[in-house]
Amino acid sequence: MSQTSSPIALITGGSRGLGRNAALALAAQGTDVILTYRSQRAEAEAVVTQIREQYQAQGRRAAALELDTGNTQGFADFVNRLRAVLAEEWQREHFDYLLNNAGIGVHQSFAETTEAQFDQLMNIHLKGVFFLTQKLLPLIQDGGRILNVSTGLARFALPGYAAYAAMKGGVEVLTRYLAKELGPRGIAVNVIAPGAIETDFGGGTVRDNAQVNAFVASQTALGRVGQPDDIGGAIAALLSPGSRWINAQRIEASGGMFL
């Protein structure tokens, strides 16, 4: 990480949900932020504005770039645009932290999951993470960090998430390989696995369905459903200076679900 400037985090899917909370938590911690969005430009720009205004006295900077993480053909162009933003806004060639957060939720039984649904999940959650990280390797600072987002569903099983959880299981294995191969550059790679969180993810079921919410709370040691701030804070902690020696680990942030 650069010793003369604030660290820079690149967050995919940072316009809403957990990505937005992570961006705000990292900014509060002293990290500049570049976030990506697929279609919600106004929401992404609002996060950028909030960071700049709320932490103006600390000199926080932020930017937003469009990116479809499920379309590998667009990654080369994205990297070029990222290089330009780094040079123009920060006068730097590298960033420090990569948070592979962008994703979608599909709730469908194994028997009824379509090939189109499977391919969409694969492209966004596994293939996209694999090849976007690959493309970004030259821009990640030696001694930096990569944090991938998985799910509690890769540990416990709930009907309807077979395809989604399978992709996240792949990400967890990939994380260990990245840690091994990027170790010589001093880059630590971990995975955070959120439990059920009250967001609009997957249609907002956990947030809006009272029965689902109550069931999750009853199965969680801390007695409630997770909030976005719970995950944003955990992400910021894992990307803090004090966590530099944590590497190749799966950290579940679920409040203790299904123990």
Does some domain include residue 259? no
Residue 3 has pLDDT above 60, yes or no: no
Does some domain include residue 256? no
**Domain count for the chain:** 1
Report the C-alpha gap between 149 and 168 in whole angstroms: 8
Does some domain include residue 3? no
Task: Catalytic residue, from 37, 55, 161, 164: name it.
Answer: 164
Residue 164 has pLDDT above 60, yes or no: yes
Q: Domain range spanning residue 70?
A: 8-251
Report the C-alpha gap between 69 and 62 in whole angstroms: 20
Does some domain include residue 202? yes
Residue 60 is which amino acid?
Answer: R
Does some domain include residue 125? yes
The model's pLDDT over 238-256, given as tens digits with 9 standing for 90+, comes to: 999 999 999 999 999 999 9
Per cent of the chain over pLDDT 90 is: 88
Find out whether 245 and 32 touch, Cβ atoms under 8 Å: no
Q: Which three-class secondary structure state does DSSP give residue 221?
A: coil
For tokens 């294995």, what's the residue? Answer: 173
Query: 71 to each of 10, 77, 147, 183, 199, how far by Cα in Å?
Result: 18, 11, 20, 28, 25
* Residues linked to residue 149 through DSSP beta bridges, in sequence order: 192
Report the C-alpha gap between 153 and 162 in whole angstroms: 9
* Residues linked to residue 140 through DSSP beta bridges, in sequence order: 95
Please report which confidence band the pLDDT of residue 123 belongs to, taking 50, 70 and 90 as the band edges: very high
pTM of the model: 0.95
Please report which confidence band the pLDDT of residue 71 belongs to, taking 50, 70 and 90 as the band edges: very high
* Residue 55 annotated in active site: no
Residue 4 has pLDDT above 70, yes or no: no
Does some domain include residue 244? yes
Does some domain include residue 69? yes
In CATH, what number is assigned to the domain containing residue 139? 3.40.50.720
Find out whether 19 and 103 touch, Cβ atoms under 8 Å: no
| Count of helices and strands (H, E) across the chain | 9, 7
Does some domain include residue 190? yes
Please report which confidence band the pLDDT of residue 2 belongs to, taking 50, 70 and 90 as the band edges: very low
Sign of CA dihedral 3, 12, 210, 169: negative
Q: In what order do the strands lie in the sheet with 140-149?
A: 62-66, 32-37, 8-11, 95-100, 140-149, 188-194, 250-253
Instruction: Tell me what the pLDDT averaged over the chain comes to.
Output: 95
The encoded tokens of residue 188 equal: 């630590």
Task: Please state the length of the chain.
Answer: 259
